[in-house]
């Protein structure tokens, strides 16, 4: 599989399943077999994910990425062996970080639910391709990731302003809005990916969709 298909969800799911370490291997940078340079995309995601792991209290060294050609079997063996030894030295997942199983699972689940939002907010940076692997040193900062989670947005439909026009409902890409004709629309926070499609679609003359930053939206009850 091309490393360009590596996703944040894959890495976080592995940790959620109890894996102590995750290794991503890709073709050498600037030597893409498919001319898509997906290995740069994988590098971006791994660097971002390492900062996210640190943000939730996990050791970021549990995640690693390396680049090599298909003919470098000895290098592959050495790199993987070094990573295995590093993970063994860190210790069991969660225990080494001083977190219980439930606490770790809760934090990973919370981050996993935000993956679509993270991709939207960081899409330009994730799509960038710098000149070399060294140029990525400090590409994502701890302060940047802390701010990302601190300023998470949510959307709320004001029942007093909603005209039940169904415009936002039709525009939602994940069917997170419930409602119908003559029925106030409601956003399901568990399905919402915070893409802002509803906010952009709501006619300005109504202004029913509110964008809230840094705190959960008001509880909405279906009508």
What is the value of pTM for the model shown? 0.86
In this prediction, residue 135 carries a pLDDT of 82
**14 and 61 co-located in one domain:** yes
In this prediction, residue 223 carries a pLDDT of 42
Q: CA angle 178-180-184, nearest 5°?
A: 70
pLDDT digits (tens, 9 = 90+) for 171-185: 999 999 999 888 999
Can you point out the beta strands (E) in the chain?
Answer: 22-26, 63-67, 153-157, 177-180, 183-187, 209-213
Q: Is residue 218 in some structural domain?
A: no
**20 and 106 co-located in one domain:** yes
**7 and 78 co-located in one domain:** yes
Given 98, 126, 150, the domain boundary residue is 150
**12 and 63 co-located in one domain:** yes
In this prediction, residue 222 carries a pLDDT of 45
In this prediction, residue 217 carries a pLDDT of 55
**160 and 202 co-located in one domain:** yes
The pair phi, psi for residue 18, each rounded to 5°, is 95, 10
**181 and 80 co-located in one domain:** no
**22 and 118 co-located in one domain:** yes
In this prediction, residue 137 carries a pLDDT of 81
**157 and 180 co-located in one domain:** yes
* Domain region containing 199: 153-213
**38 and 140 co-located in one domain:** yes
Q: Give me the residues of the chain with pLDDT under 50, please.
A: 221-223
In this prediction, residue 49 carries a pLDDT of 96
**106 and 30 co-located in one domain:** yes
In this prediction, residue 167 carries a pLDDT of 96
**31 and 67 co-located in one domain:** yes
């Amino acid at each position: 599989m091309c490393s360009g298909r590596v996703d944040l969800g894959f890495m976080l799911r592995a940790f959620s399943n109890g894996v102590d370490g995750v290794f991503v291997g890709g073709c050498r940078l600037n030597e893409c077999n498919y001319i898509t340079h997906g290995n740069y995309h994988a590098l971006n995601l791994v660097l971002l994910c390492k900062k996210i792991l640190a943000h939730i209290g996990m050791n970021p060294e549990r995640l690693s990425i390396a680049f090599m050609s298909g003919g470098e079997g000895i290098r592959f063996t050495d790199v993987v062996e070094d990573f295995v030894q590093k993970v063994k030295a860190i210790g069991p997942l969660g225990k080494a970080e001083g977190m219980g199983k439930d606490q770790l699972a809760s934090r990973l689940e919370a981050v996993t639910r935000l993956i679509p939002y993270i991709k939207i907010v960081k899409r330009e940076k994730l799509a960038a391709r710098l000149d070399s692997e060294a140029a990525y040193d400090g590409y994502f900062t701890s302060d940047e990731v802390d701010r990302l989670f601190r300023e998470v947005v949510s959307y709320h439909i004001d029942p007093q302003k909603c005209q039940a026009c169904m415009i936002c409902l039709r525009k939602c890409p994940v069917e997170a809005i419930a409602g119908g004709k003559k029925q106030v629309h409601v956003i399901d926070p568990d399905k919402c990916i915070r893409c802002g499609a509803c906010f952009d679609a709501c006619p300005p003359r109504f202004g029913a969709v509110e964008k809230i930053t840094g705190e959960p939206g008001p509880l909405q009850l279906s009508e």
